[in-house]
């Protein structure tokens, strides 16, 4: 390993996005240390499998512990000696935050506080943390621009993520900690999360069950393909917000704070897709019609999301661009292979 190899600590490394990001970073020559508690929010075997794949590369090692465990987190920082931290570990999921709100406060608020305390001591080049499009709440003004109001969350999940943005802002101001907050928009792809729509729809369809389609299908989402998203994150690593006194050029549409090195960036595909068109693409990819149960809107859900990705492009020269037809095909190919489903018989 070269003397210049940069070290990255990735929390949530056994998660959907964490796994793909670690692969991307290893491929780009970083030394990567993962940190994940393997929580049982969804199938732990899938998380273990992701880590097993990463561990095949000597540039990756991992600790299994909770963010709430201050000692374990401190040891992980001491062991990793990171230049960069990407904080993805979270209790994710919009709907589950209505059933089990406490887990969001424990992981997202207390866990993120512990992480910020470690980050403050670690002399980091850059801390990057996951927020979500859910912070835009029921904002009718589309596409969502980072400067739009985000002070009216519809769920505790969104409220904890907005709190994370604010907590990180305070640390950036007080300790000159360079922080980028990503607002991710509905991410999908191979090794995806079993609680998200694409996985649930494919599983139900292949098991011959109907799918539940909320708000009678009248929903839109900005679906972001995982490879595009992790490429954007990798590029943003090298776009750390500068301390106030060192700033020279300004970037158009920037959200850089006036009082600390803190910035918020949307990462979305920049396209609004109708839920029914997304389902039609899945039907095409699976080669079957899917039976649908049309239902009312679920509590806490939003009718639409759509990212303005101008700031991401201004910072990195890159804009996500995988069409949903291609992304869904890659997901279906993975799903059939991973679960040994032979469609020929
Ligand atoms: N996938 C999306 O569409 C999406 C959209 C917006 C935001 N996000 C955010 O992106 C991040 C990654 O999401 P994901 O889709 O990969 O979710 P994921 O659930 O697959 O990954 C999260 C990982 O964090 C770990 N974790 C949970 N609680 C922990 C704790 N207390 N201590 C240590 N580890 C813990 C889990 O075991 C899991 O492996 C999250 O912060 C999520 O809120 C995701």
Cα–Cα separations (whole angstroms), residue 23 to 14, 31, 94, 239, 253: 11, 11, 26, 20, 30
Q: Using CA atoms, how far apart are residues 144 and 259, in angstroms rounded to an integer?
A: 24
Give the pLDDT confidence score for residue 64 in this predicted structure.
98
3-state secondary structure of 183: strand
**Contact 130 CB / ligand 1 (< 6 Å):** yes
Phi (first) and psi of residue 191, to 5 degrees: 60, 30
- Cβ–Cβ < 8 Å for 37, 113: no
194-212 pLDDT tens trace: 999 999 999 999 999 999 9
Task: For residues 53-65, give the mean pLDDT.
Answer: 98
Helices (H), 122-155: none
Region 242-251 average pLDDT: 89
Alpha-carbon dihedral of residues 258, 165, 185, 302, nearest 10 degrees?
A: -110
In this prediction, residues 214-222 reach a mean pLDDT of: 96
- What mean pLDDT do residues 253-280 have? 97
What pLDDT is recorded for position 31? 98
Distance CA 167, CA 111 (A): 12
- Ligand 1 atom closest to the Cα of residue 66 is 32
Handedness of CA 272, 311, 230, 185 (dihedral sign): negative
Is the CB–ligand 1 distance for residue 235 below 6 Å?
no
The pLDDT-based confidence of 344 (bands split at 50, 70, 90) is low
Query: Mean pLDDT across the stretch 218-227?
Result: 97
* Any ligand 1 atom below 6 A from CB of 73: no
Ligand 1: distance of its center to the CA of 89 in Å? 5
What local confidence, expressed as pLDDT, does residue 24 receive? 98
Distance CA 264, CA 311 (A): 9
What does the pLDDT read at residue 150?
A: 98
CA 122 / ligand 1 centre spacing (Å)? 23
Separation of CA 3 and ligand 1 centre (Å):
31
Query: Which of 10, 15, 221 for a ligand 1 pocket mutation test, highest count of atoms within 8 Å of Cβ?
Result: 15
Please tell me whether residue 162 adopts helix, strand or coil conformation: helix
pLDDT of residue 107: 98
Q: What are phi and psi of 73, to 5 degrees?
A: -65, -40
Question: What percent of the chain clears pLDDT 70, i.e. is strictly above it?
Answer: 99
**Residue ID of nearest Cα to ligand 1 atom 44:** 184
Look up the CATH superfamily of 7-190+224-270+307-321.
NAD(P)-binding Rossmann-like Domain (3.40.50.720)
Q: Is the pLDDT of residue 343 over 80?
A: no
Mean pLDDT, the chain, whole residue set: 96
Task: Report percent pLDDT > 90 for the chain.
Answer: 96
3-state secondary structure (DSSP) of residue 211: strand
What's the average model confidence in pLDDT over 69-85? 98
Per-residue pLDDT tens over the stretch 79-108: 999 999 999 999 999 889 999 999 999 999
| Residue 331 to residue 225: CA distance in whole angstroms | 10
Asked if the model's pLDDT at residue 52 lies above 60, the reply is: yes
Residues belonging to the active site: 157
Rounded mean pLDDT of 173-189? Answer: 98
Rg (C-alpha) for the chain, rounded Å, is: 20
Cis peptide before 104 (omega within 30 of 0): no
d(CA 97, CA 267): 23
d(CA 55, CA 208): 36
Residue 2 pLDDT grade (very low, low, confident, very high; cuts 50, 70, 90)? low
pLDDT tens for residues 321-332?
A: 999 999 999 999
* pLDDT value of residue 5: 93
Distance between Cα 252 and ligand 1 center (Å): 30
For atom 12 of ligand 1, the residue with the nearest CA is 88
């Amino acid at each position: 390993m070269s003397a210049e190899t940069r070290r990255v600590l990735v929390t949530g490394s056994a998660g959907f996005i964490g796994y793909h990001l670690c692969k991307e970073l290893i491929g780009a020559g970083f030394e990567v240390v993962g940190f994940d508690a393997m929580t049982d929010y969804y199938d732990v075997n899938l998380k273990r499998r992701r880590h097993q794949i990463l561990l095949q590369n000597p540039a990756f090692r991992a600790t299994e512990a909770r963010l709430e465990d201050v000692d374990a987190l401190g040891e992980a920082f001491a062991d990793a000696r990171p230049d960069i931290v990407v904080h993805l570990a979270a209790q994710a999921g919009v709907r589950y935050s209505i059933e089990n709100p406490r887990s969001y406060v424990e992981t997202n608020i207390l866990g993120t506080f512990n992480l910020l305390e470690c980050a403050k001591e670690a002399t980091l080049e850059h801390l990057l943390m996951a927020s979500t499009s859910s912070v835009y709440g029921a904002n009718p003004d589309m596409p969502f621009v980072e400067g739009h109001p985000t002070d009216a969350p519809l769920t505790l999940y969104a409220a904890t993520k907005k709190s994370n943005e604010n907590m990180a802002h305070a640390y950036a101001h007080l300790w000159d900690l360079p922080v980028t907050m990503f607002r991710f928009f509905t991410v999908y792809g191979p090794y995806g999360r079993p609680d998200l729509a694409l996985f649930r729809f494919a599983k139900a369809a292949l098991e011959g069950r109907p799918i539940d389609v909320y708000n009678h299908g009248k929903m839109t989402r900005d679906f972001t393909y995982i490879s595009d998203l992790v490429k954007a994150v990798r590029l943003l690593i090298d776009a750390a917000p500068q301390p106030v006194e060192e700033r020279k050029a300004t970037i158009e549409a920037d959200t850089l704070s006036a009082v600390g090195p803190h910035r918020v960036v949307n990462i979305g595909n920049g396209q609004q897709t109708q839920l029914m068109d997304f389902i039609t693409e899945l039907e095409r990819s699976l080669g079957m019609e899917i039976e649908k149960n049309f239902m009312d809107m679920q509590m806490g859900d939003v009718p639409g999301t759509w990212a303005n990705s101008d700031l991401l492009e201004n910072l990195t020269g890159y804009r996500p661009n995988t069409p949903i037809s291609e992304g869904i095909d890659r997901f279906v190919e993975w799903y059939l292979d991973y679960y040994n489903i032979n469609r020929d018989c």
